[in-house]
Chain A
Amino acid sequence: MSLIENLPRIRRLGLPRADGLVQWIVPLAIIVVWQAACVTGFVSSRVLPAPSEVALAGWKLLLSGELARNIWVSFWRAGIGFVIGGGIGFAFGLANGLSQLSNRLTDTTLQMVRNIPHLALIPLVILWFGIDESAKLFLVALGVFFPVYLNTLHGIRTVDPQLIEMGRIYGMTDAELFRRVIFPGALPSIFVGLRFALGIMWLTLIVAETIAASSGLGYMAMQAREFMQIDVVVLSILIYALLGKLADSASRALERLTLSWHPAFQKH
């Protein structure tokens, strides 16, 4: 995720290539320190339960099937909301990037809506949809829409006009021009939008589930708070972190796959 990492390297460091393991050193170290602090009594288990206790709570929930069910529900909501919001955002980004008319017609409206914090709509959404699934899907879709829309639009707008001229000179049809020049040129920017959207997706879902839900990870955490099960609360938070990492890794893998032409993704 770091900025420097994505910049071209001037000089290769003499370290062995073990990025896959290296990235887990810090999280592991944090867990070790955390465990030590709890065991020695430096941190009270009422404030923060030890990792071992959290793991135990996780194991119990796993055996009862509750954990898998809640994760699945959250995952499903996130996925569907993401596909709907991202799909609409992508479609608007394409339309407004390619057509002046469409852009004039809709961009101002979209920019106004964008400036409303979408979580501020929660009271309204609850009035509309109750605490139904559609309320969560609506919020996630709305949150995901804007980063995908803005970055798709930006990506299309910034495709090198010289390449577009080249494509026209060589007789590409509009469809070919889109497929061979505009879309691949916009792809790096679209991926930036995608990764932003993934972050917003989890954020929105968790807030929505915490406030109004009868299942899902956010609901699990709120229930645990009611019964003072601090280990389950911490477990939920850790699962969010892992799911976020998973989503980010997935989008990165997709990036590497589709942007292999890009100097930043070539093996040095």
Chain B
Amino acid sequence: MQEALRFLTPDAEPVDPADIIEQARLAQHGSEPLSRGLPLTIRGLRKSFGDNQVLRGIDLHIPAGQFVAIVGRSGCGKSTLLRLIAGLDTIDAGTVGFGEETRPQDVRVMFQEPRLLPWARVLSNVEVGLGRDRASSDAQGRARKALAEVGLEDKSGQWPAVLSGGQKQRVALARALVSDPRVLAFDEPLGALDALTRISMQRLLERVWRDQAFTAILVTHDVAEAVALADRVLVIEDGQIAHDVHVDIPRPRRRGSADLAALEGAILRDLLQSGDEPSDL
């Protein structure tokens, strides 16, 4: 019990061997890896559902390869913004552009629910992610590679029903990764996971983002998660970008370190002040 508690207290987090490897890799590649991601430019984006104006003019530029987190209260429009970026809903006004013509497999989304086909084995669920390339001869090989990327190569023949929540979400991640996307949008991907699984999934997300160098857009309600993962945190309030915070903390970041906590506190204060609910912090 003592051991477990010590692991959970931020100051005493043991050094993860993965961090050391990560640091070595950073030293080798420099802090700015060559990105194959796409830049994203949004101008005057508006969206309403009926009388409800959800997005009231969003202007935003995301450079290629950046990891951006979008936070805000529930109902602030952050998920709508993500759905518009991913092309899942129609735009009322404004533009969303990636700087060049994209193919469908260039932009992928991962949701809070894994959305795996329960009647397909893990490997064929990953193959779904290949889109039009499903029929190609190396489809299986690519799917296996993506599964290995998320550490589930030994589960390829299983039914989704026997996997844990975290494993299902990793399969969903493999499905999103298998087509080598250049923009990956995450809609609360870890929202339904328990605390420890979340932490290991956050590490996994950061690692694949570094390895594959795509542009990452993460919608989350967890400010700690946002500052731990992102280069930049956007705070959305009432359908507009209220704050645009750059997170200049070098990677790999130590969870619970003082500078992360300070930044998290500042963003949380902003969120709470702006809200109509009474704040007792």
Contacts and interface: CB of A to CB of B under 8 A. Distances in A.
Contact of B117 (A163, A169, A171, A262): A163
13 contacts: A162-B113, A165-B88, A166-B111, A166-B128, A170-B129, A171-B105, A171-B131, A171-B132, A185-B119, A259-B119, A260-B159, A262-B118, A266-B162
Contacts of A166: 111, 115, 128
B159 A261 contact: yes
Interface string A163-203: 10111011110000000110011010000000000000000
Interface string B153-193: 00000011110000000000001000000000000000000
Contacts of A263: 161
Nearest to B172: A166
Interface residues of B, number: 23
Interface string B80-94: 000000101000000
B111 A171 contact: no
B97 interface: no
Nearest to B161: A263
B24 interface: no
B117 A184 contact: yes
Given A162-B111, A165-B88, A261-B118, A170 B161 contact: no
Interface of A: 162-163, 165-167, 169-172, 180-181, 184-185, 187, 259-263, 266
Contacts of B162: 266
A262 B131 contact: no
B40 interface: no
A109 B88 CA distance: 36
B161 A261 contact: yes
Contacts of B119: 184-185, 187, 259, 261-262
